[in-house]
Amino acid sequence: MRLDKFLADMQIGSRKEVKKYIKDRRVTVNGQVITSDKIQVADHDVVTFDHQPVQYQKYFYYLLNKPQGVVSATTDPRDKTVLDLLKDKDQRDDLFPVGRLDKNTEGLLLISNDGVLAHQLLSPKKHVEKEYYAEVAGILTVEDVAAFAKGIIIDGNEQTLPAEMTILAVDPKQECSQMRLILHEGKFHQVKRMVKAVGKEVTYLKRVRMGDLSLDEELALGDYRPLTEAELALLKNAVK
């Protein structure tokens, strides 16, 4: 890889800016000051900028505990986005949320620049499980569980794939319920639309799992961290 591309990819500056940094003798490769941006560097080369080592990384993966009130988008003219939650040092132009959570839905959201993995995780053909915890206005019943298990018709005359609902609690006095739901697809507002189709309403929604990757409960709302190698392996295994 050319040295200027290497540095630009690592957010040292634009291609034009890093060319100037190189000419200004601010870059070394293997201890030698380099003044040509056309030099090729490999994985084993040691590159520094202003005496600080620059380690090349192609893909980035962050596990975010999305709070309510932010949108799953790269930019938005009105609302704060999930990318706005990243610290300056982690900001990159190529990062994006993998899939969407509604503005008022909380929980697990993957932020990455790996388009191939993102496509595989979201592809209906891969049937990667997404698990949600929901609080519902209304009394969930065993009939609702059976209907979800068969797949139901939601508004817009859309047919859902079979989904696994578990009723966690029911409060007859408050006329509310708690449930977990496992989906194998990702239709727009799907959980809310499925619950509406059986005559109830979602009042709180949180995604807790994607594939075998579970939300880190130690992450406060709005916090994030890089995926571990083991967690990344779980995601990649889910799409094989």
Question: For all residues of the chain together, what is the average pLDDT?
Answer: 95
**What is the CATH T-level fold of the domain 3-54, as seen in this structure?**
3.10.290
In the predicted model, what is the mean pLDDT of residues 53-75? Answer: 95
Residue 113 burial (CB count, 10 A): 16
Q: Is 9 a catalytic residue?
A: no
Of the candidate CATH numbers 3.40.190.10, 3.30.1180.20, 3.30.70.1560, 2.60.40.60, the domain formed by 130-210 belongs to 3.30.70.1560
Q: Summarize pLDDT for 20-48 with one digit per residue, the tens.
A: 999 999 999 999 999 999 999 998 999 99
Give the pLDDT score at 127: 86
Instruction: Give which of 106, 64, 68 is closest to 87, Cα–Cα.
Output: 64
Q: Is the pLDDT of residue 204 over 90?
A: yes
How is the chain split into domains, by residue range? 3-54, 61-124+221-238, 130-210
Same CATH topology for 3-54 and 61-124+221-238: the answer is no
Give the pLDDT score at 166: 98
Instruction: Specify the CATH number of the domain 61-124+221-238.
Output: 3.30.70.580
Catalytic residue among 76, 84, 102, 216: 102
Question: For residue 198, what pLDDT band results from cuts at 50, 70 and 90?
Answer: very high
**At 170, is the secondary structure helix, strand, or coil?**
strand
Q: Which residues contact 91 (CB under 8 A, 6 or more apart)?
A: 11, 83
Q: Is the pLDDT of residue 89 over 90?
A: no
**At 191, is the secondary structure helix, strand, or coil?**
helix
Question: For residue 114, what pLDDT band results from cuts at 50, 70 and 90?
Answer: very high
